[in-house]
Amino acid sequence: MPSPLHSLLDLRFAAEQAARLNLEDAIAARVNEDEEQARLVECWRLARAKLLREESRGEHAPKNAAQAQTRERYRERLEEEATGAALSAEEHLEGALASARRAESEARAAYEAARVALEAAAKLQERADAEAAKLVKRRDEEAAGDHAAAAFVRNRNRP
């Protein structure tokens, strides 16, 4: 039958393993959100670059009102695209990415606590094992002493 300390050690080991797996999942989720944030920022940069290119072409005057109107609608679409991309990146940064970072931080703290608890249980088990080994050694020494004393008495009482 396992000792209560051994059972505690098994429970703490299982908790530490579960916390480690949770931390690995949280890290993977945060990495995915970091990659998504990078993608959204890149979309914003591309949209902004298109808009800047179009605005720099503004020095070439359109030949008629229709061309001017078409160019203005195109510039407005580019501006909306850049603004939308910037908003998406900002929302993701403050929402999903921030949540993933918090979850990773919490999982890291839980893992650290589980690891410390496992180490404490392991130390208790080591101390208990050392005490048990001392007790066995002491009993063996006492038994050897008892055998030696009995042999002495036996030998002394022989004619």
pLDDT in tens, 33-77: 999 999 999 999 999 999 888 888 766 777 788 888 888 898 899
Q: What is the token pair recorded at 128?
A: 């208990």
Q: Where are the beta strands (DSSP E) in 13-140?
A: none
pLDDT beyond 70 at 157: no
At residue 97, what are phi and psi to the nearest 5 degrees? -70, -45
pLDDT in tens, 77-105: 999 999 999 999 999 999 999 999 999 99
- The CA distances from residue 99 to 12, 43, 45, 89, 93, in Å, are 28, 22, 24, 14, 9
Q: Say how far residue 41 (Cα) sits from the centre of its chain.
A: 25
Pick the CATH number of 4-119 from 1.10.3720, 1.10.3470, 1.10.287, 1.10.8: 1.10.287
Domain assignments of the chain as residue spans, ordered by start: 4-119
Q: For 103-112, 116-125, 143-152, which range has the lowest pLDDT when averaged over its residues?
A: 143-152
Give the integer Cα–Cα distance in Å for 144 and 65: 114
